[in-house]
Amino acid sequence: MPSSPVASTSSIPFDPARLDEINASLADASPQDVLTYAIDFIPGLFQTTAFGLTGLAATDMISRISRKRKQPHAVPLIFLDTLYHFPETLDLARRVEKKYQLELQTFRPPGVETVEEFEKKYGEKLWETDEDTYDYLVKVEPARRAYDTLGVKAVITGRRRSQGADRATLEPIEIDSTGLVKVNPLCRWGFQEVKDYIDMAGVPYNPLLDQGYKSVGDWHSTVKPKDGEGERSGRWASNKTKTECGLHKDYFAMKRAFEKKQLEQARAAADKARGDEEVGESSVDLSQETDATSQDLGASFSDLKLGA
């Protein structure tokens, strides 16, 4: 392990105010070094995973660090079950649990456990009719619920610079708008480096990759990238401009947008129940509700801030 990260951080715990200094000290660190630093100095650390190659490599590295220390798997795993994963992904989740002797903390969309329940409550093919709401329900809300339930202060991600778009300038450690610390241990690796590690270490991976897929999400939106297309270009078949599912977007903006839509729907339903032909005045005051919601957001997730 290079001496710089240890020398500069070993005497004190993680301090968000020193983020630039810490990232500078990790500039030449290997993924294993970044993970070791995170395990030792960042509190409330979990790994969120959809069992992509990069996340699997990180899980294997954590396992090796843990075994070397003769400890159980050092970082608990959170799996967001969207209910629309490929069967191969769900089978991989079970294999990872068994191989690394860990228990997945699984979270699903609010109030439902099956596809049938989801579509009855939220509508069929919601990813086509309202993609932002779909992302909020299957990824963003379950993630925040997981963080609140489990006391998560930091997460290990599978993001890499080579994936492009918003990820092109990733640092090993970042802090988002909610105060959540995001550790990106393989941010400097390319796809081939990750795949080489997977093969070398004998890490189980999704068999769909052998069929030409490179980034696997929900079955209804994932296609094989064409020759010359980027690694994540097949992730959202119907939306070529999309680069993130919502987990790494502005959480507060997504929550406000979702709640505004809910209020609009409630207003429309109230108008219809009164027999109004057109949407007019309503007992639902949308502006006041939205303002109150905005004020509540900071308090709702204040416990996510480091040191809370």
Quick check: is 245 catalytic? yes
Find where tokens 């809370």 sit: 308
161 near 168, Cβ under 8 Å? yes
CA pair distance 13, 38, nearest whole angstrom: 10
Catalytic residue selected from 34, 245, 263, 304: 245
Question: How many CA atoms lie within 13 Å of 266's alpha carbon, on the beta-carbon side?
Answer: 11
Instruction: Say which residues have a Cβ less than 8 Å from residue 276's Cβ, sequence separation at least 6.
Output: none
Instruction: Say which residues have a Cβ less than 8 Å from residue 99's Cβ, sequence separation at least 6.
Output: 204
Residues classed as catalytic:
245
